[in-house]
Structure 1
């Protein structure tokens, strides 16, 4: 839950931080600003193909912190910065999310109401092919209402 009226600040923070984060070879996946007592908490999620390492997070924290200090978009108000990778529960909304989760099990709700659960076989900018019970099904990304990775404690095969 973001702080009320933060849409403008989130847009400005996204514009400020996208360049430095991309300069590290990372994608800025999400920004969230919330209140925690008298302080605000700025959560910045970064990702890349192959996943992010602790070193990636440390480098991103430094460039984000430096950019925030230089621009002073937080208005001198106290805040805590948290830089992290997106959680496994992040919805798949962009083609790169599908690519980065190849071979993972995903539950897909289509805009027509149909639901599929299958393993991502391949994907491109427009579609993803899933193995649904041994049958390959190609889904247009534009027809996906919601898609989330399913947590597997004991992966088959």
Structure 2
């Protein structure tokens, strides 16, 4: 497998894909090329812009996929004259969060993070302009479903610079907090105090 994201060989494809995706409020995360040269498989991983929450609309992804496929068929300069298998997909839940934009897209989600060898289970509420994560620790439940408690004296809130995060991944959950929207709004105001003054 070769990840050709950012390489000059696919600059034209990246630019064309970005224009198509922009019409559907989607952004290109990366380009991955696999398979034999005779029939390469080109996978474009797309997502919502970093200032939006939620998941990409699958209908929009399907429409963008058809439009981009037509464009590639009509323009050999994008991937050459030979046939290719084109797939447009969204990031899976098992994706490692590595870039600041990944964290911004994950606001409101429960994360598993490793910082200086310590594992945290915390909900990402905001990312400051200085790329600091504002998190709320959530210890989870025991095997009987009872809420776990954090050690006494442990702060619920964590402020961790993205640069200090060794690993981070979104956790699948089925019962997010009922007050999640308010938690995010409060954290956003805390992350950018000028925003509340301007509104």
TM-score, normalization by structure 1: 0.79
Q: What residue is the counterpart of 1:131 in the other structure?
A: 136
Distance 1:3 1:38, change over 3 A: farther
Deviation at 1:20, TM superposition (A): 2.1
Alpha-carbon distance in structure 2 between the residues aligned to 1:101 and 1:17: 23
Q: What residue is the counterpart of 1:147 in the other structure?
A: 168
Larger of the two Rg values belongs to structure: 2
Distance 1:142 1:70, change over 3 A: farther
TM-score, normalization by structure 2: 0.65
Residues 10, 33 of structure 1: 8 Å contact kept: no
Give SS of 1:39's match: coil
- Does 2:60 correspond to 1:56? yes
- Does 2:84 correspond to 1:79? yes
1:25-60 deviation per Cα after TM superposition (whole angstroms, max 9, x unaligned): 111112111115841111112111332122111221
Q: What residue is the counterpart of 1:67 in the other structure?
A: 71
Q: CA RMSD in A?
A: 2.7
Aligned residue pairs total 154
More strand as a share of residues:
1
Where does 1:115-130 land on structure 2 (aligned, <5 Å)? 115-125=119-129, 126-130=131-135
More helix as a share of residues:
2
Q: What residue is the counterpart of 2:111 in the other structure?
A: 106
What are structure 2's unaligned runs of at least 5 residues? 140-149, 151-155, 178-199
What are structure 1's unaligned runs of at least 5 residues? none
Q: Runs of at least 4 residues of structure 1 off by over 6 A? A: none
Give SS of 2:79's match: coil
Alpha-carbon distance in structure 1 between the residues aligned to 2:3 and 2:168: 26
